[in-house]
């Protein structure tokens, strides 16, 4: 290999004479025998090699290749390297150093050049950059005024911001997970069955006792029909017993009429002959005695008749008691069947229907939701560490969004109860209830959507509470 050293170029890059292979994507291959770390010199008559090329460096019988980009200069056949990476520069520089020193490049040096981790960026300024920076710099007095104003403005902002935050924490109690709640009463199915009728629709007004829905239990309805059949059978039996009793009573009248006729046949003729005798003929006396004994149930026939009369009367009484028992059972079964209705407990507006006519529901299935005719309220949660800082009657500031606009309304704390946080059931604290001022049913239903989020802050008189505590301590 012939190596020729030349004097340095203006860019302080020495050119060397050593083979450097250049391959283009179109298959054009060129060997550059003269090159430096800045670029290569090729025969002006060769094809244009500007653009992306694969640069191959011969190393111990193999070639180390990497992509590069050449830019053509004004000098014919001279091309410069464009935006070589650190690893590419290090690899090319290692080969360049070996050519310049006449020493063979070691494997360790080549591996080190290939393992260069990142691009090195110079941290210092050039003289041109330093001169340009001084030229753009403003006068020192103006910079002092500007810096003073800037730091004063920053300090004022921090004081106002941090001070406002501190004051807000001292003068207000922020409630967590605040939302609007509608007073909803749920009505569940009392028993399993089929929905036979729904008497209301969403938005209807209801009063206490109004029937919202009817449920039919096939088993209960079957029991009612069975008992109704027993009632009809008992009525038929009672009528039969009553008919027998009536017929038997008619037989009694016929028997007595026959005895009376028999007595009259003997008595009337004899009475005309001697009406003043005290001793009657035996025939007349026998007829009279038979009639007398019949009326007093002493006659054998009469005794039999009255025994049968008692038997029929007892049968009528038994049938009547049986009928009454089945009617009472029918009332109970019908009452049990009539219990399968859903009735309104309070005045309100139907909020939702969760069952369809003809559908089957099981016990405790939700059927109807009714919003009570009371204003909607806001609730929030606060940690129990604030137990001594909140009380009923505190003024509350409620912020919410209505039709895309932020709204605010004042309210008062109406109830405080211990409870868990809806977002963290394992965390115990207090549930605060707030009622909006001067907002009735219509307004709250219009403004406050059910379960809509809100931001609630309770206002407390910090100084009054402080002085009040001092008075109590003294």
**Residue 293 — φ and ψ, nearest 5°?**
-65, -35
**For the domain with range 184-217+340-369, which CATH number is right: 3.30.830.10, 2.40.50.100, 3.10.20.30, 3.40.50.150?**
2.40.50.100
Write b or e for each residue in 181-214: b if 16 or more Cβ atoms lie within 10 A of its Cβ, otherwise e. ebbeeebebbbbbbbeebebeeeeebeeebebbb
Tell me the domain boundaries of the chain. Answer: 16-114, 172-183+374-473, 184-217+340-369, 219-338
Residue 207 pLDDT: 92
Using DSSP's 3-state secondary structure scheme, residue 343 falls into: strand
pLDDT at 232: 92
HEC profile for 209-257?
CCEEEEEECHHHHHHHHHHHHHHHHHHHHHHHHHHHHHHHHHHHHHHHH
Nearest-angstrom CA–CA distance, 465 and 448: 32
Residues of the chain scoring pLDDT < 50: 1-12, 118-121, 464, 466-474
Q: What is the pLDDT of residue 112?
A: 65
The CATH number assigned to the domain with range 16-114 reads 2.40.10.220
Torsion of CA 234, 239, 240, 245, to 10 degrees: 130
What pLDDT, on the 0 to 100 scale, is given for residue 89? Answer: 78
Determine phi and psi for 466, rounding to 5 degrees: -70, -50
CATH number of 172-183+374-473: 2.40.30.170
CB-hemisphere CA count at 13 Å for 429?
20
CB 421 within 8 A of CB 447: no
- Residue 249 has a pLDDT of 77
pLDDT at 298: 63
Specify the 3-state DSSP secondary structure of 406: strand
Q: What's the pLDDT score for residue 460?
A: 77
Give the count of beta carbons closer than 10 Å to the beta carbon of residue 139. Answer: 8
Tokens of 208: 């206490």
Angle at 428 between CA 175 and CA 462, to 5 degrees: 40
pLDDT at res. 399: 92
Read off the DSSP letter of residue 453: B
Edge-to-edge order in the sheet of strand 176-181: 172-174, 455-459, 395-402, 405-420, 428-436, 377-383, 176-181
Q: What is the pLDDT of residues 1-31, one digit of tens each?
A: 444 444 444 344 677 777 777 777 777 777 7
- Would you state the structure tokens that stand for residue 103, as one six-digit string? 């020493």
């Amino acid at each position: 290999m012939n190596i020729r050293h030349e004097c340095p170029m203006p860019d302080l890059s020495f050119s060397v004479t050593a083979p450097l292979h250049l391959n283009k994507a179109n298959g054009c291959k060129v060997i550059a025998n003269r090159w430096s770390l800045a670029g290569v010199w090729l025969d002006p008559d060769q094809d244009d090699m500007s653009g992306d090329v694969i640069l191959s460096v011969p190393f111990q019988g193999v070639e180390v290749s990497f992509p590069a980009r050449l830019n053509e200069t004004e000098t014919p056949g001279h091309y410069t390297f464009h935006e070589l990476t650190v690893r590419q520069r290090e690899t090319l520089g290692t080969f360049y150093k070996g050519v310049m020193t006449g020493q063979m490049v070691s494997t360790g040096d080549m591996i080190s050049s290939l393992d260069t981790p990142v691009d090195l960026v110079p941290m210092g300024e050039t003289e041109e950059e330093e001169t340009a920076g001084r030229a753009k710099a403003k006068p020192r007095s103006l910079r002092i005024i500007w810096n003073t104003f800037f730091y004063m403005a920053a300090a004022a902002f921090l004081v106002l911001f941090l001070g406002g935050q501190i004051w807000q924490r001292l003068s207000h109690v922020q409630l967590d997970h605040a939302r609007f709640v509608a007073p909803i009463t749920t009505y569940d199915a009392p028993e399993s069955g089929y929905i036979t009728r729904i008497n209301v629709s969403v938005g209807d007004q209801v009063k206490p006792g109004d029937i919202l829905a009817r449920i039919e239990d096939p088993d209960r309805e079957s029991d009612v029909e069975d008992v109704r059949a027993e009632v009809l059978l008992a009525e038929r039996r009672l009528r039969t017993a009553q008919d027998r009793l009536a017929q038997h009573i008619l037989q009694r009248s016929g028997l007595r009429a026959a005895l009376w006729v028999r007595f009259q046949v003997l008595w009337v003729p004899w009475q005309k002959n001697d009406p003043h005798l005290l001793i009657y003929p035996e025939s007349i006396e026998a007829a009279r005695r038979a009639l007398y004994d019949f009326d007093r149930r002493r006659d054998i026939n009469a005794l039999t008749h009255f025994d049968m009369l008692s038997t029929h009367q007892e049968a009528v009484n038994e049938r009547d008691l049986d009928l009454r028992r089945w009617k009472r059972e029918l009332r109970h079964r019908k009452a049990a069947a009539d219990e399968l209705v859903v009735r309104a407990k309070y005045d309100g507006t139907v909020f939702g229907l969760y069952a369809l006519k003809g559908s089957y529901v099981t016990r405790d299935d939700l059927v109807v939701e009714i919003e009570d005719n009371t204003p909607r309220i806001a609730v929030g949660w606060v940690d129990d560490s604030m137990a001594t800082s909140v009380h009923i009657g505190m003024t509350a500031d409620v912020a919410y969004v209505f039709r895309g606009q932020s709204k605010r309304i004042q309210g008062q704390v109406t109830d405080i109860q211990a409870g868990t946080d809806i977002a963290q059931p394992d965390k115990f604290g207090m549930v605060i209830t707030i009622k909006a001022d001067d907002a009735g049913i219509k307004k709250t239903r219009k403004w406050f959507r059910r379960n809509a989020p809100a931001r609630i802050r309770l206002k407390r008189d910090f100084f009054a509470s402080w002085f009040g505590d001092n008075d109590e301590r003294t």
